[in-house]
Homo-oligomer: A and B are copies of this chain.
Amino acid sequence: MIIVLKPDAPQEFIDKLTVSIKSKGLQIDISKGARKTVLGLVGDTSVIDRDQIQGSDYVDKVIRVEEPYKRVSRAFHPEDTVVSVNGIPIGGKKLAVIAGPCSIETPDQIEGVARDVKAAGATMLRGGAFKPRTSPYSFQGLRDQGLDMLCEAGKKAHLPVVTEIMSADKIDLFLHDHVDIIQIGARNMQNFDLLKAVGKTRKPILLKRGLCATIEEWLMSAEYIMAGGNHNVILCERGIRTFENYTRNTLDLSAILAVKHKSHLPVVVDPSHATGKRWMVEALSKAAIAAGADGVMVEVHNDPEHAWCDGAQSITPKMFAGLMDSLRQIAPVVGREL
């Protein structure tokens, strides 16, 4: 940690600060410039409260040199993490392809989609039972009933299932119903109480990046889950909010590289939510794999024009089969298999 002092910081203040920091077991290297004095803190700076130091009128800025996360960091866990989902790996050589409808609508619908995506080569089934909707008047998901349908469809198609949780009081239901991956949605990425709650389970957690979350904030949210003891975290890039609104969000593929550089956790990409446009899904899925993602998650609906939500971004099972063919060609080029 580096503390840059303002030109007018009196010696008395510097002395007091130095004593206080040293009392916490750290060393300080002082570098006096023409106008500003710089303190370099050596040792375990996690005992230092950055906010408190930043609060002083004599402090210009406090710069962290070490990352604020630990369990998430590649420095502390150099090898790639592979999360096992009922024996199916996410991370590593084999790509994960998670497919399914935005919303679970009927047993027939979800079981039909499950069969189709399984046949085309999907490795997992997604489907929303609890839906975060901007409007209180929009369809909110079939909830508990939808969860049952999804788990049943997964069982029949021999596909692990992924679905979103919106509230900690549903964790028992998710565990009881044998949800294989619990998804934390973009809007709940900093719902810290929910992160703590799923951190106490040992279920794989798919953590979507928040709409305006920095890479660091996203990793800190993963740290919340891991701090609870649950190391089965899968990151999911799904686009960030920018000034451009031709696409629903702006897919940030450099984020794949950033998180793989800083962290050992696997990362998948959701081009459906990122773009909101069905015709962009295939090309951006290929791009995601080319950039190094560990998999993709795409919305597939048997009848997108009558989907109960997000129809505009859902592809048909036929389009999905075409997408799988493309991915099978691109995978070996980047040292992956499907």
Contact = CB atoms under 8 A, between A and B. Distances in A.
Number of copies: 4
A121 interface: no
A43 B52 contact: no
A215 B275 CA distance: 14
Contacts of A292: 283
A244 interface: yes
A291 to B, nearest CB: 4
A252 B254 contact: no
- The secondary-structure label for the interface of chain A is mixed
A132 B286 contact: no
Interface in A50-78: 51-52, 54-57, 60, 63, 65-66, 68-69, 75
Interface string A33-62: 111101010111010010110111100100
A227 interface: yes
Contact of A284 (B133, B254, B309): B254
Contacts of A136: 192, 196, 220, 223-224, 227
Interface residues of A, number: 108
A36 B2 CA distance: 12
Contacts of A329: 333
A108 interface: no
Given A35-B75, A312-B54, A135 B223 contact: yes
A49 B135 CA distance: 12
A188 interface: yes
A138 B69 CA distance: 11
B242 A254 contact: no
B253 A214 contact: no
A132 B190 contact: yes
Nearest to A186: B190
17 contacts: A7-B75, A29-B40, A31-B40, A33-B42, A34-B42, A49-B139, A52-B311, A54-B312, A55-B304, A63-B63, A68-B134, A68-B137, A169-B169, A187-B191, A212-B241, A290-B330, A330-B333
